[in-house]
A and B are shown apart, each in its own frame.
Chain A
């Protein structure tokens, strides 16, 4: 039993200590969070019938509880955890698309499949690689707005939670999110 609890305290410590630190704080958390997310996802999917899917959001929150616990640090200090989690989900999606790509056509072309079709989840084709690129460009132009997308989309935080995590108002987050959706929609559309 020492494994999980040690890891949990390590993450709590990291989450606490990184505070308002820079991107390196997120980097420090990334491997831990990434491993935990994958482990949790594998565990949960393995226990289910084939074809079952998981909501990334629920997974991230569960990972947070596992790694940090219910009485974790204040929301302001959680930003790096959720950024790390968002990047982990992003990485999982990219890796998957890449594998599939390779399996199907021996690499090269893009595959439009972010969502595995499931009876209960209407599938939506989204170019993972294009999204990844677009997000990288958005981040170069305005890191804060890009982080809002990461936290909202990949980590599944609500507007209010994102606001708390980023130390700004919910109104600002809502504005960023609205704008980012349009900006990314344009970036992912053909032409223009």
Chain B
């Protein structure tokens, strides 16, 4: 065609066509010059520069294009006989079967039936098996609201068929619209629908494909449940009422999240679908629209969006109709359904409250939070209809927030959210101050109102949000501005100020900023002690925070004393089995463990675990917390398989309740790595450590104490594996972090210093090792004489053990650097500790 290259033409054309038309001739002149052919091409293209709308829009494929001649082959059956039945017409088509309308050919009965026949070419073993299952299912179920089975057989060509009741009816939502049912009537009809589903569940059958098209309402107003084609017999009742994994055949809009995921299904999946159907009946809309989405996109939708409550969705409908000024409210409802309430506003009021909560509970994305049976679902609707309080409760703000945090990658939570949370607390506190009669009332009110917000704040700042952790300037800014805001009220409203400063203090504590934590927690506790009764819950909260502070500062004896005091008080006022008591027991267990009092620690933790399990069930974060602590203890006691089992349970619980990438998941994985190492599975341990550390760097930033823990644990493993070179850099990094975070002499710094010193000594870097080992030695005991070593052994065996290790290492270093006096000094120290420890053990045994 053209002698010009297409690119040359393209270049000129695009440039010219981007100009206003009055400038184009001049541009063509300039760009084409005397090249007439180029000029001709460009001009010709310009004439076609505006293709019609939709030109080269996406191609659409129809059935005839791909050879899917729907029905043509199967419809050959029409007019033929199947058993004693004459097929008259086709009623419908499913994925694997066609349904025909038929009459008895022998005229024995005049009643028409529906015959379901496997589609030609689809008579595989699998489909035939499913057909048989459906037949068994229907034979089991005998209920007036379930389309019944008359007969079954096999066609001459080998395809099986089922003869079923032919239901004359219309889909449920259509029925409601045609009969202009109001909300109350819709609920009554829905209750009737619950009945056959309940019966199916009692027979251990899950329908798995409940949707309006499968629910026909007869002229008499009786619901008929159709198509048990993918229904499933729940296996053994003991297997937890779940069905096996299944192939994915369902209708996405009505399918539960677990069904879309392909998880094992229980009756909860039908309850979800019923919830969606009720939602649609009440509002005329479906909660989700999945028309063109892939499975992955649908799952993302489930994860990221909450369905609007029914009362809200009908209000948005009002808004829509207000916009389209000419259309009446009724028309704007669209072709789906509309509820025959007087007005959308009234409908919205009718739905808000009970019905919102009932519907959203039934279709909760978490199966465990739905109604556990259809009866309960129906009973709540009954209660609502009778004007009784319903049992369903909306998700609490805390729950929703945890889910939010769990769903969103930690990095997405912005400082804005943090700031808002802080000021929400302050606002509530000030509001309480303004409405209450006196300050104590105000403090109580503030506590009631602000507790949840404060919990959220703490939750955000501590675990959910490691990216901003550490002495990150942004968090500092937020906390400091909160501190400034609270300073104003310290003298006038000390108790309110105490509740805010308590929260700020706990947040600093969780961030490992101990000085700031101490200042705030101290102030709050002192203030409350001066003004409140000794058993006041606010004071208890301060005491708890203070005990954790003491623990973090390594002041273990003080922490133990305080916790024991709190435990006595708790048991006296709340009893042994109280959930608050379990918290004190848990914390005391941790402190005791740290002190090396393993048996007492075990007892406390086990008691805490029992209380929490009986109170919250197996899968709560509180149970995971205590189990994690217990696992560490088991690990220290050498019960490695038990520790591993416990930690795997912890990880499962936390992954289920939180996000995969949550800091607490990483924490328990770090622990598991240490246990795997001890069990000798070094490859698995190393892989897990690397994963956890990579997570920590990504999520916490480079200066977080939790990262230091993982680094130093991994370093210890490498030390044991004789990879001291690698371990050295890990220990250095963790020590750097800890020195910025903890006061001098903190147990973690001592441990870390000792580890690094030993590692350096082993690879021959004695000059670097010696000062570190000496620092560790003098941190443990100010005067490292044999006497003080012996005294330590009887007082604090764990510390004495570390002292012995450090002293032995130093002895070797001195020996290697020709300092025999120093070496023998260390030798004596080691001897003294060993003797005293043995003596202690013996006396312990003889008691």
Contact B2 A141 (CB under 8 A): yes
Secondary structure of the A side of the interface?
A: helix
Contact A70 B1 (CB under 8 A): no
Tell me how far the C-beta of A178 lies from the nearest C-beta in chain B, rounded to whole angstroms.
Answer: 7
Contact B56 A53 (CB under 8 A): no
Q: How far is the CA of A56 from the CA of B62 in the complex (A)?
A: 10
| Binary per-residue interface labels of chain B (55-75) against chain A in the complex, 1 for a CB within 8 Å, 0 otherwise | 111111111111110110000
Which one of A16-24, A44-52, A73-81, A162-170 is at the interface?
A: A44-52
Contact A189 B54 (CB under 8 A): no
Contact A137 B70 (CB under 8 A): no
Q: How far is the CA of A46 from the CA of B122 in the complex (A)?
A: 12
> Which residues 17-48 of A sit at the B interface, judged by CB distance below 8 A?
37-38, 41-43, 45-48
Interface residues in A, total, Cβ within 8 A = 60
Note all chain A residues with C-beta closer than 8 A to B56.
149, 152-153, 181, 184
Contact B48 A186 (CB under 8 A): yes
Q: How far is the CA of A186 from the CA of B1 in the complex (A)?
A: 14
Q: How far is the CA of A89 from the CA of B10 in the complex (A)?
A: 27
Contact B65 A116 (CB under 8 A): yes
Note all chain B residues with C-beta closer than 8 A to A51.
62-63
Q: How far is the CA of A62 from the CA of B293 in the complex (A)?
A: 10
A55-B58, A153-B56 given as contacts; is B64 within 8 A of A192 (CB)? no
> Which residues 124-153 of A sit at the B interface, judged by CB distance below 8 A?
124, 126, 137, 141-142, 145, 149, 152-153
Q: How far is the CA of A137 from the CA of B56 in the complex (A)?
A: 17
Q: Which of B44, B51, B61, B68 contacts A181 (CB 8 A)?
A: B51
Note all chain A residues with C-beta closer than 8 A to B1.
137, 141
Tell me how far the C-beta of A159 lies from the nearest C-beta in chain B, rounded to whole angstroms.
Answer: 13
B687 CB within 8 Å of chain A? no
Q: How far is the CA of A50 from the CA of B72 in the complex (A)?
A: 10
Note all chain B residues with C-beta closer than 8 A to A65.
294
Note all chain B residues with C-beta closer than 8 A to A116.
60-62, 64-65
Contact A175 B10 (CB under 8 A): yes
Contact A50 B49 (CB under 8 A): no
Q: How far is the CA of A175 from the CA of B93 in the complex (A)?
A: 46
Q: How many A-B residue pairs have CB under 8 A?
A: 135
A109 CB within 8 Å of chain B? no
Contact B55 A185 (CB under 8 A): yes
Q: Which of B10, B44, B60, B70 contacts A46 (CB 8 A)?
A: B70
Q: Which of B7, B44, B49, B292 contacts A192 (CB 8 A)?
A: B44
| Binary per-residue interface labels of chain B (225-243) against chain A in the complex, 1 for a CB within 8 Å, 0 otherwise | 0000000000000000000
Tell me how far the C-beta of B57 lies from the nearest C-beta in chain A, rounded to whole angstroms.
Answer: 7
Note all chain B residues with C-beta closer than 8 A to A178.
14
Tell me how far the C-beta of B117 lies from the nearest C-beta in chain A, rounded to whole angstroms.
Answer: 15
Q: Which of A42, A99, A183 contacts B68 (CB 8 A)?
A: A42
A153-B59, A182-B13, A186-B48 given as contacts; is B294 within 8 A of A41 (CB)? no
Tell me how far the C-beta of A1 lies from the nearest C-beta in chain B, rounded to whole angstroms.
Answer: 10
Contacts A92-B61, A116-B62, A179-B10 known; 10 new A-B pairs at CB < 8 A: A38-B67, A45-B63, A51-B63, A53-B61, A53-B62, A92-B66, A156-B58, A183-B45, A184-B51, A185-B48
Please, could you name 18 A-B residue pairs with CB atoms under 8 Å apart, sorted by A? A42-B68, A46-B93, A48-B70, A55-B59, A92-B65, A96-B65, A116-B60, A118-B60, A124-B55, A141-B2, A141-B6, A142-B6, A156-B58, A176-B10, A181-B51, A182-B17, A182-B49, A192-B47
For the complex of A and B, list the 5 residue pairs with the smallest distance between their C-beta atoms, beginning with the closest. Answer: A116-B62, A185-B51, A186-B48, A42-B68, A41-B66
B-contacting residues of A (Cβ < 8 Å)? 37-38, 41-43, 45-59, 61-62, 65, 70, 89, 92-93, 95-96, 99-100, 114-116, 118, 121-122, 124, 126, 137, 141-142, 145, 149, 152-154, 156, 175-176, 178-179, 181-186, 189, 192
